[in-house]
Chain A
Amino acid sequence: MTSFAVPPSAGALEEIAGRSLWQDALARLKRNRAAVVSLALLAVIALLAALAPLLSPHPFDAVYWDDIGSPPDFHKAHWFGTDANGRDLFVRTLYGTRISLLVGLAATSVSLLIGVTYGAVAGYLGGRIDSIMMRLVDVLYALPFLFFVILLLVFFGRHIVLIFVAIGAVEWLTMARIVRGQTLSIKHREFIEAARAGGVSTAKIIRRHIIPNSIGPVIVYATLTIPQVILIESFLSFLGLGVQEPYTSWGVLISEGAAQMETAPWMLIFPAVFLATTLFCFNFIGDGLRDALDPKDR
């Protein structure tokens, strides 16, 4: 789709400003309408979540005894109505957004940290170490991980930090495979050889050369990991195993809303719309980034 210019003649070379891979990718991303709209929507959602206390006069845990489970009411500034305990649903949805996004980012970071290191080390060292490390990944891959996360939460108690760690520890496997693949494809290139010839240590080669050069696919996959993580967190919270009172997240709100939907459908609909929109946005951005960073795939 991109109209690449005809290769310039030798004389014209100096006049053309160089475009880096990233500028190229950014230009392609900007042309992807779904991705741009998604980015904007996500920014709005994140901003709403960040500014939550300023946007509503109600604290997130205040109980209004006169308005229990009441529909949206603009006079009292209950824009999304109130929940079954008489708390303002607008503020609670935004606070839930904070937690869900936070879990998404934090757990994805955990998975990045483990997955990138593991994959780069396995791929770069190669040989027997590589095959043992990747065999382990294969074994773990076949495990029903969500059940282990639940097991973990049952045994060690329901705590938000544990959720970050547990989900992050689940999601690193694919990341490790991707980074290993990238590493294998670049480790025999000349600049790595040059670094090795120059006496750079293995750890430093991995840190300075291997990881930075496999960042493209990592970014794409990280963007697609965030919605998965948000989904897992919502799933756990929906079952009552995730975020605990008085804090809330989309999963908790949807579960509370589902219980009341016959009399108070707004309790289900508002959080569900937030969750769905966010998931869509991340998926569109991930697809857009993939197209932008890897144009040959189209």
Chain B
Amino acid sequence: MLKLPIYLDYSATTPVDPRVAEKMIPYLVEKFGNPASRSHSFGWEAEAAVEEAREEVAKLVHADPKEIVWTSGATESNNLALKGAAQFYSGKGRHLVTVKTEHKAVLDTCRELERQGFAVTYLDVQENGLLDLEAFSAALRPDTILASVMFVNNEIGVIQPIAEMGEICRSRGILLHVDAAQATGKVAIDLETLKVDLMSFCAHKTYGPKGVGALYVRRKPRVRLTAQMHGGGHERGFRSGTLPTHQIVGMGEAFRLARLEMGTENERIRMLRDRLLRGLADIEEVYVNGDMEHRVPHNLNISFAYVEGESLLMAIKDLAVSSGSACTSASLEPSYVLRALGRNDELAHSSIRFTLGRFTTEEEVDYAIRLLHDKISRLRELSPLWEMVQDGVDLSTVQWAAH
């Protein structure tokens, strides 16, 4: 029996893997010590668990555990990376470069930095969602201190050329920050070879709990930051506040499982995603958003032309999907990511993000395909625009009368 609604929104958040939850629970009850308590076994036990988890997070991305700073999530990591670096290096320059399709956590932080007197360049992406390296290179200035580019886009799943950008930035003496919230467990990340200086992670997109993330801060060459949260001097002064042991343990276990299983898991998910794409490709007037080659296997973002977005969402209530990124979907603004690809508002509104994951089954994918076929044709039957298109009217030539 299928459980409805079918969850196809793994890029918004994932369930905690049962193996992860099992590891977390003791740290809420019997092993509940404060890792900062230095005078008794409860504290030491918690501290040891925190350090073990730090090693697991470091291992997934080939970093030194000393380069991992715990935070409350990727949003905080992005804030700490951008504001911390901008403030620390403001004597060197006051310009930053980022991309129009970044997550709000980066874009809103950049807006705040602009109010603090920094200048920010927001780069366009190409039609496939990827950044043009020449445009990127050209945007870097002598006073640029940091570039921030996400590894994997949350809406369209495209993978940016981080390795090449790292080379460019390093040769120019510019720090590179990468938001990897959507990348862990989906693409291999090797910080020994990538010339990335700061990288944001979170647990809850990789089958760990919400409320915990990390910031990678490179030690060689050493990257420095101005702390944003002050207090007891936890995390070597980078980030004060009691460490939530159970959540950190959960992130460590989630990242350990990702390291061990991502190879086989991603192939299984890729097959399901391709099955979904094949199943939907025979619907007329559908458009895939974002490059299909440089893309994580979990993501499919499709625009269904001549269907009204809200009606579509209502019609496919049996699918838990996203029509934009989770953080912006409360408003009815068309997705700024799809707009950046050059999609018009109507197409952006009628696009659906399907993100598959560890617990997605073939049966669920097949159900989704059938449901979409059925609902799209029904919605189009009701659509006067669709009727006009079927009659051969070129809508772009129609003169619409104002009411």
Binding partners A and B: no
- What is the interface of chain B, defined by CB distance below 8 A to chain A? none
